[in-house]
Amino acid sequence: MTYSEKYVGFWLAYTLPTIMFLLCPIVLWLGKSRYTTSPPKGSVVADTVRVFRLAAKGHWSLNFAKFSRSIDWDRARPSNVVRENQGERPSWCHWDDQFVDETRRALKACQVFLFYPLYWLSYNQLNNNLISQAATMQTNGVPNDIIQNLDPLALIIFIPICDHFVYPALRRAGYNFSPLKRIFTGFLMAALSMVWAAVVQYYIYQRSPCGYYANDPSCAPAPLNVWIQSGSYILIAFSEIFASISGLEYAFQMAPKRMRSMVMAIFLFMSAVSSAIGEAFNPLAADPHLIWNYASAAIISGVAGIAFWICFRKLDAEQDQMNEIGKGKREEDEM
């Protein structure tokens, strides 16, 4: 599509993906007998909110650390609910003790996701500013938005390498490279990617005929090969492997079976939050401030990664115990 837009026009660039999308319903229809389907079930959101509200009652605080430590999950257990209701079980109390433990576990996972908007700030540079940056360098006939394909290519190459060689080698060496450690590493890799982009932007400003206004449409490209951007895309791909993919893995592992869709939705919602936060950085996304645009993203991602590990290093040690919650009879009943 990139070459279609450059050498033919936008009409072809939009027509080709439209045709592909129109084929998708046909593929789904033809393959429906091969898919595993399950009947719809009731939402657990209402009960989850009730459990959390009961556990947090009387402990609300603007100090998040103090608040999270003071939540009394035992108070939300049915036995205590019955006792507080003068020996009768309220009609809205549909859960059991296992569900309370599952809610606690799900919210533990969601706490981890609170840092992700700061990670996506760096990742989102791939879809806008880095493409514009490429246009200010010599592309030698290559469309400026083709360089971003290095990201998915790096993912295709390095995900199997990590899964089949790197992670097993670390396990054999006795090092537990857990999802939380990988997420921390991913934040740092994203920061390094933005450092690379900031350095490239610095040299663009130094070499451009227009100096710090290299994005002026009338300005000739800086005498730099566009492929020097490769480092940013490859580093951000590694950050995806460690942070994004491990985040999805963590969400799936930590979420009790019947809460997986809710926890996954919260994880993906963090990307939307990041886009909203990114609006505050729009003034930096133009000449002559682009160096600070990338530098700010690098600093935020790096600091967020360090803060992430400080906050959740204890949770990392408890992960094996947390993973046991929701197994056994509860999951057998849901199958």
Question: Is the CB of residue 263 less than 8 Å from the CB of residue 251?
Answer: yes
Task: Please list the pLDDT of the chain residue by residue as tens digits (335 residues).
Answer: 677 777 788 888 889 989 999 999 999 899 888 887 777 666 778 888 888 888 888 888 777 777 777 888 888 888 888 887 777 788 788 788 888 888 888 887 788 889 999 999 999 998 889 999 999 999 888 888 888 889 999 999 999 999 999 999 999 999 989 888 999 999 999 999 999 999 999 999 999 999 999 999 899 999 999 999 999 999 999 999 999 998 888 877 777 777 888 888 888 899 999 999 999 999 999 999 999 999 999 999 999 999 999 988 887 776 655 555 555 544 444 44
Question: Is the CB of residue 106 less than 8 Å from the CB of residue 263?
Answer: yes
In the chain, what are the domain boundaries? 45-95, 106-334
Name the residue among 197, 222, 220 with its Cα closest to residue 208.
222
Strands 222-225, 137-138: parallel, antiparallel or unpaired by DSSP? parallel
CATH architecture type of domain 106-334 = Up-down Bundle (1.20)
pLDDT value for 330: 43
Burial string for 306-329 (b: 16+ CB within 10 Å, else e) reads eebbebbeeebeebeebeebbeee
- DSSP tag of 335: -
- What's the burial of 39, exposed, middle or buried (CB within 10 Å: 0-12/13-18/19+)? exposed
pLDDT value for 334: 46
